[in-house]
Structure 1
Amino acid sequence: MEKVTLRRFEAEDSPWLVERHQTLYTQDEGFDDTFGPLVAEILRDFCADHDPERERGWIAEENGQRLGSIFCVRLSDTTAKLRLFLLTPEARGKGIGKRLLTQCMQFARDAGYQDMTLWTHESHEAACALYAAFGWELADSKPVHSFGQDLIEQSWKTVL
């Protein structure tokens, strides 16, 4: 078995990312069919006009199989935003999430950002535990109704 590699996101990865987000969030969270189009819009925007010096996405792969993703995008001149952090079920618990998060945060530092932010839901316990272990702090939490579900939306931040 080959080692898991992290490579740059390519536009051709978009259909896979949309499908995996929609399928996994439907299975795991009960999200409705509005989630996939949101992911597709985020990816269209990224592909259309991202700055490769300050914004980047990564895909984790093993034996040609995609296992996960993470993106660093510009929120402001000093703040980066972590987006589309996803691990497939077969990738979970193998340290791949730690590698992706480390890669994304180091890129943000190297690109000159001073801090990072992200948006998630309280139900993503493993991801939230990982963020906390990496020094992220919960900045805001509020109940919302999104994607057909009652959720607790969270904003996290960290200084780089």
Structure 2
Amino acid sequence: MTDDVILRAYTPGDFDWLVDLHGRHYAEAEGFDATFAPLVATILRDFEAQHDPYFERGWVAERDGARLGSIFCVRADARTAKLRLFILSPEARGIGLGKRMLAICTGFARDRGYTRMQLWTHESHEAACALYRTAGWRCASSEPVHSFGVDLVEQAWEVTL
């Protein structure tokens, strides 16, 4: 159950934790090399330096002070929002928290006037892709790549809000 989980605004104090969570998770689960965590750091630095708080937001899920995951809505253009940095720690998976976070993020985008949302992921993220599909997203493109030291299938997903 997620009743005891709060979603609060991302703060710069979450930076190191979020970079570390992404780096460790994707190294262990997918075999990503050390180039992935710096990409996450760049995304966060850009968000902190340039985001418009009315149109963009980051959330951190927390239970009893322990951080469990994050999700971000950023502006791609005037009509399109981009979902970024959606991750849950292992102990937060399978309890409906991802579904709740996705609904809050897409609801925020809709409330801000975006008419569609997009994201970038990998085919191997089966649980996330199933969640997106169930929430009405569709896979718009799929392409084999070699990124972060491994062979992957990159995917672009989108949903009309």
TM-score computed with the length of structure 2 as normaliser: 0.98
Equivalent position SS for 2:124: coil
Equivalent position SS for 1:28: helix
* 1:130 match: 131
Distance 1:132 1:29 in 2: 21
* 1:27 match: 28
* 1:69 match: 70
Report the AA paired with residue 50 of structure 1.
H
Alignment of 1:2-151 (within 5 A): 3-151=4-152
Distance 2:60 2:104 in 1: 11
Distance 2:157 2:25 in 1: 22
Aligned-CA RMSD value:
0.7
Report the AA paired with residue 68 of structure 2.
L
Unaligned stretches of 5+ residues in structure 2: none
Report the AA paired with residue 87 of structure 1.
L
Q: Shift in Å at residue 11 of structure 1?
A: 1.1
Q: Shift in Å at residue 128 of structure 1?
A: 0.2
Structure 1 ranges of 4+ moved more than 4 A: none
> Deviation per CA, 1:93-145, whole angstroms, max 9, x where unpaired?
01110111011000000111000000000000000000000000000000000
Alignment coverage as a number of residue pairs: 159
Report the AA paired with residue 99 of structure 1.
R
* Percent identity of equivalent pairs: 63
* 2:156 match: 155
TM-score computed with the length of structure 1 as normaliser: 0.98
Distance 2:115 2:133 in 1: 18
Distance 1:128 1:11 in 2: 28
Q: Shift in Å at residue 72 of structure 1?
A: 0.2
Distance 2:25 2:8 in 1: 22
Q: Shift in Å at residue 85 of structure 1?
A: 0.3
